[in-house]
Structure 1
Amino acid sequence: MSDPLDALEKSISTLRRAIRDASAAGDTERASELRAQLRRAERAWDALLDADEPAPAPPRPVPEAAPAARGSQLPAREHVHRALMLLGTPAAPKLIVGVHEAFFPGELSASKLSSLRRDEERSYRSSPGARPYYLPPALAHDLLTPVRALVTISTWTLEQRIIGPHSPRVDFLTGAIRIAEAVHTAAQSRSGPSPEALRLLWRFAVNIPDAMPKSASGHENALDPEQVIEAAQAELDVHADADRAARAEASRRARKSLSDDQQLFGAPSQGVTHLRARA
């Protein structure tokens, strides 16, 4: 399956290239913001690597106790982080839980996400930067207010955390590709993909033209992950440029109009008129 560490390493490499480009262009404000994002991404990489390391064996093991699955004792926010890193897009709690169940051990419920989202902002405001990453909401492209139904990761670029007119479909197609890649990778292993992973991919595929096999038998095992990837990418190519432009324009306004904490958690509703005037 797709490894969250690999995804973070790719994000770190992308940020480093973007910093170099911004510095070469003389855009010091952009370079400074990207450096802050890079530091958060590197801290997140360290935290995820530490979480993946097996705990030392206890000095007095209890033979009759059933061993916990690897990763099952991680905090809920770590589970959410892993699922989002696999998807690579803002996601609703229901999808986050579905991705977690399909690919990762441990328990995660949508109810935990409700309290988690409140805790993230409270933690950031009480001690900004104390954590390697935060789980803020996505931002609406027009008003730059929080889209509380969608969760993101603070180490992502501002553009990645903004939702434009085409973003819901673009993110759906991007998520389908990432899920199909994870299923394809799991299929190469001895255990193969889980039934939950196949059902999740099926739910994506039925909403993408040409993603389903013509002889589909109505069963998840009939899916070809590579066909899903090809079909999703074909439609993604149609919308990607317009979505990228809308997100880039909104991110430029956000950098000029919002404070650092507002760039993570969104502009207050009462500030909407003021933000429009400054834009």
Structure 2
Amino acid sequence: MNHLSTLPTTGEQARHALLLLGVPAGARLVVDVHMAFFDGDLSMAGLAQLMRGGAAGGLCAALGLELSVVPGLVALATWPLDRRIVTPAQRRADELAMIVRVAEFAAMRPGQAAARLLRELAHRVPDGAEAVDLADAARAALTSPQLIASIAAEAELRAEAVSRAARLDPRQQLFGLPSVPHQRGPE
């Protein structure tokens, strides 16, 4: 019996969703976006298995300021380091920008799954659940003075992290530095 499939691989399916999202995202969101807009059978189990296997499928981990893996966030290995390093304020801005992209894409490809996804994403935007246009509400949140100030405050730390990450070997750039267990000192 022939088991060949014309469906894209798990990595290709995740890549499609991440290209739409444009930023590192949680694995559940990657699967939900793929299910809402693309054909295939991407699942959490398949994505988790792919991530455990290394850089297969062109996926990698998002990194924090300390250059260790940010648990649960998936990124594309082809994205530059500054796009894969996440900080709290930049992550919030990236999330809002991602919601704008998803809402605009959903307007071009409406459907029940897309509407359900937008309802879930609306709760991540201030006044998003009540907004007539989710993309406009997310754009307004992106221009909030508090968010802009927070991003500016993180800029130097992000630049330093990107500089440190650029000196790592290629595998560490994709999957971060191994975490070191906390060592107790003399008491």
Which category of TM-score, normalised to the shorter sequence, fits these structures?
0.7 to 0.9
Q: Do 2:36 and 2:114's aligned partners in 1 also have CA atoms closer than 8 Å?
A: yes
Structure 2 residue 34 is the aligned partner of structure 1 residue 100: yes
Q: Do 1:212 and 1:228's aligned partners in 2 also have CA atoms closer than 8 Å?
A: no
Cα shift readout 1:229-264 (whole Å, capped 9, x = no counterpart): 4334334645443455432221012123x1122111
Which protein is richer in helix relative to its size? Answer: 1
TM-score, L = length of structure 2: 0.81
For structure 1, the 5+ residue unaligned runs are 1-70, 124-132, 187-192, 215-222, 274-279
Structure 2 residue 107 is the aligned partner of structure 1 residue 184: yes
Counterpart of 1:248 in structure 2 is: 159
Give the one of 158, 177, 182 matched to 1:267. Answer: 177
2:60 partner amino acid: P
Identity rate of aligned residues, in percent? 38
Q: CA deviation at 1:96?
A: 0.6
Structure 2 residue 138 is the aligned partner of structure 1 residue 204: no
For structure 2, the 5+ residue unaligned runs are none
Counterpart of 1:135 in structure 2 is: 59
Question: Following the alignment from structure 1 to structure 2, what is the Cα–Cα distance between the partners of residues 177 and 105?
Answer: 22
Question: Following the alignment from structure 1 to structure 2, what is the Cα–Cα distance between the partners of residues 176 and 110?
Answer: 21
Q: Do 1:120 and 1:134's aligned partners in 2 also have CA atoms closer than 8 Å?
A: no
Pairing 1:121-160 to 2, within 5 Å after superposition? 121=55, 134-141=58-65, 143-160=66-83
Q: How many residue pairs align between the two structures?
A: 177
TM-score, L = length of structure 1: 0.56
Q: CA deviation at 1:272?
A: 10
Q: CA deviation at 1:271?
A: 10
Give the one of 24, 35, 49 matched to 1:115. Answer: 49
Pairing 1:73-92 to 2, within 5 Å after superposition? 73-92=7-26
Question: Following the alignment from structure 1 to structure 2, what is the Cα–Cα distance between the partners of residues 209 and 72?
Answer: 41
Q: Which has the higher contact order (CA 8 A, sep 6+)?
A: 2
Question: Following the alignment from structure 2 to structure 1, what is the Cα–Cα distance between the partners of residues 182 and 62?
Answer: 16
Larger Rg: 1
CA-based RMSD of the aligned residues comes to 2.7
Question: Following the alignment from structure 2 to structure 1, what is the Cα–Cα distance between the partners of residues 48 and 38?
Answer: 20
Q: CA deviation at 1:107?
A: 1.1
Report the CA distance shift for 1:164/1:229 in structure 2 as closer, same or farther (over 3 A).
Answer: closer
Report the CA distance shift for 1:74/1:147 in structure 2 as closer, same or farther (over 3 A).
Answer: same
2:165 partner amino acid: A
Question: Following the alignment from structure 2 to structure 1, what is the Cα–Cα distance between the partners of residues 94 and 101?
Answer: 10
Question: Following the alignment from structure 1 to structure 2, what is the Cα–Cα distance between the partners of residues 245 and 174?
Answer: 21
Give the one of 147, 161, 182 matched to 2:84. Answer: 161
